[in-house]
Structure 1
Amino acid sequence: MKILIPSAKELNEKGRTVVPKPLSFQTKQILQSLGDFSLEDLASFYAISEERAQVEQERIEALVNGRAKSYPALELFDGLMYRSMERKNLSDKEQTYLSEHLLITTALYGVIPAYEGIAPHRLDFMMKLKPDGQSLKTIWKEGYDRAVVEEDQILSLLSSEFELIFSKAIRERMIQIKFMENRGGKLKIHSTISKKARGAMVTAMMKQEINQLEDLKKLEVAGFSYRQDLSREKEWVFVKD
């Protein structure tokens, strides 16, 4: 069983550092393309000021030259979903659970284990980068599929940006989770609340040592409970009243 979560734009570079794995061919290919940009090009590419682009240029150069500090991916990414997970002071058993089951989807490193060492960077699949004439989606599609092709249970807590990198055949095997709030009898989806609930679901699965996705239906996650009447075979709905 694998749990898929997306990377995040927010980063926390105050944590522990680790030794990274060698960069993959695809990662080097992407970095080469980014490294060819001038400072002005980078500012335009990221839609940021040249001052902030300077930081990104230094990050890219450090990665290319092997000087970049690396952090466990689960601890480096610090978006709302990540901040809604329990990540500190975990027991050995809890860390083992996340190591075995949690995968993080990224645009620079591909699909990686929760604690794999990665460097701070800024990149997502919405950015129009074409290393050697290929889109980021094309570069990673095979690797994304390969990461889960042998899994019989795949839980997607991804946004469409990352989910669509996988082939249709893989997506059709995923269980997707939808979080909805009952507001005065009307069911609503709220992006911020959904992100928090995704983080809470990862924590609940870790605490309960969930190894069969069917057992998710028994969990209450941040006030959300499974609703069979609203769910479909591959889309499970959790509602908070």
Structure 2
Amino acid sequence: MFLTRSEYDSGVNTFSRQGRLFQVEYAQGAIKLGTTAIGIQTAEGVVLSVEKRLESKLLEPSSVKKILKLDGHIGCAMSGIVADARTLVDHARVEAQNYWFNFDEKIPVRSCVQSICDLALDFGGSKMARPFGVALLVVGVDEKGPALYSTDPSGNYVKYLAKAIGAGSEGAQTSLKDHYNKSMTLAEAKTLSLRILKQVMEEKISETNVEMAVITVKDEKFCMCQKEEVKLLIENMSSAPL
């Protein structure tokens, strides 16, 4: 007697006959409902741009955070369930500080990403009832240079030159493939990320419903862009379509 799909759903460690983990697939589905986030790596550094959905006029925009700092030289953007993202972010922050205390040096970007995915993969243990319903774009600069990683609920992570996640990721990723080049400057990457967000967002893009952050090879410091800078970039964007 074979299990039905609903019976396969009852446990996060139960594979279907097709080799699928439905709970992981459902978590990935939550990401496709989340806000769009874009990361672009250049020789100068990495930029993150993220859509913020402001569902009420009574909502204070500054209280919605889609980009968070993990360490002085590492940050991330999220798409999916924000509460799940904060759990992963808090874990990464602790790992980064432990690495500093133990080795007296900054944690490598890849090691930080690995620690996040180790926790994400722990959904099969007794501590967790389900996978994390969130994907992260983790960016940073270390001795190997700038880096951009994407994580998913399965615990997998992949390094990219340019990557989009969230509801508009398919269209955004297509635009990145068409317009990204390795020789582009950080300023050009900022503009490209906003142009693509403008293309895939349902609402009109503004400095209120978009967050942007950068980290440069020169400074090795993860910094949020001010609203004034984002507003100026939006105003200076060409009105011509991509």
TM-score w.r.t. length of structure 2: 0.23
Higher relative contact order (CA 8 A, sep 6+): 2
| Structure in which a larger fraction of residues adopt strand | 2
TM-score norm. by structure 1 comes to 0.23
